[in-house]
Copies of this chain bind each other. A is one copy, B any other.
Amino acid sequence: MRITVLAGGVGGARFLRGLLAAAPDAEITVIGNTGDDITLFGLHVSPDLDTVMYTLGGGISEDQGWGRDRETFTVLHELAAYGCEPDWFSLGDRDFATHIARTAMLTAGLPLSAATSALSERWQPGVTLLPMSDDTIETHVVIDDGAGPRTVHFQEWWVRLHAAVPARRIIAAGAQDATPAPGVLAAITAADFVLLPPSNPVVSVGIILSVPGIAAAVRAKTVVGISPIIGGAPVRGMADACLAAIGVPTTAAAVGGHYGADLLDGWLVDEKDADAVAAPELAGITVRAIPLYMTDLQASAEIARAAVALAQELGQ
């Protein structure tokens, strides 16, 4: 069984951990969002790729859901003593090593996909982890904090401003001239089905789908998604702020409708949102209501099992 998953950070990684437990023999390819990537202190940081890699490789901070376990902050503290900016993005010493290793490979001329593959050698995540593109695509957010609209990097809005300033627009800068990384389209085409985990539909899955060629390849497949919205609120993160920027209500039905029947064949919503089964915006999509809180590995595996079962059913 071949499964391809478009994944963001924490939600995607936790779903993938469940998927590996639910389908241990499947050949899983993960297409990771790199729109959140940012250069900090001259180093290339890929938060979503790292969250997947650390989570599946056993190096994640379980408390945070991102970053390394048992972190220390000596390097960051020293950089602050040099007056190096920014001071709003937390990077631990163990995490720094990943960014140093990645940046060294990129500087030596390797594409991000090759660097990701080399880093994954250590973590053995049990999936093939691919960046969505080797080209630079940055998620930018147009905000207006009083002095007129200005464009900031996603991380500045998300981390520094805690997404508290309303986003007017969210842009995948560079996407139109980008191509999918090697293996991305092939992994989608060769998959028995594609899964959209409960990642942020705008700044994670949405950015991946903005890479020319990816959305069309995904639409040609059986696709099952898992709602990141339960009972009118994001399970974690600030997806509501992102949805507001694109005019989509924060409901499981609206997010499924945003993906649309063109893309989605199946849509898993939480039991709280069982009324979505009959929602008009989900016409043409098979909707199932099951418990969607990924409280532990077993819960994540149950969700993944339901997604796989629905995809297999719809793919016949």
- Measured CB to CB, the residues of A under 8 A from B are 41-43, 72, 74-79, 81-84, 93-94, 96-98, 100-101, 103-104, 107-108, 118-119, 121-122
Contacts and interface: CB of A to CB of B under 8 A. Distances in A.
Given A42-B107, A108-B42, A82 B96 contact: no
A101 B84 contact: yes
A100 B72 contact: no
Contacts of A72: 72, 74, 93
Nearest to A107: B42
A125 to B, nearest CB: 14
Copy tally for this chain in the complex stands at 2
Contacts of A101: 41, 79, 82, 84
A78 B121 CA distance: 13
A75 B104 contact: no
Nearest to A105: B42
Contacts of A75: 75, 93-94, 96-97, 100
Given A41-B100, A74-B74, A74-B94, 13 more contacts: A42-B100, A42-B104, A42-B108, A43-B100, A43-B104, A75-B75, A77-B97, A78-B93, A79-B101, A82-B118, A84-B104, A96-B96, A96-B100
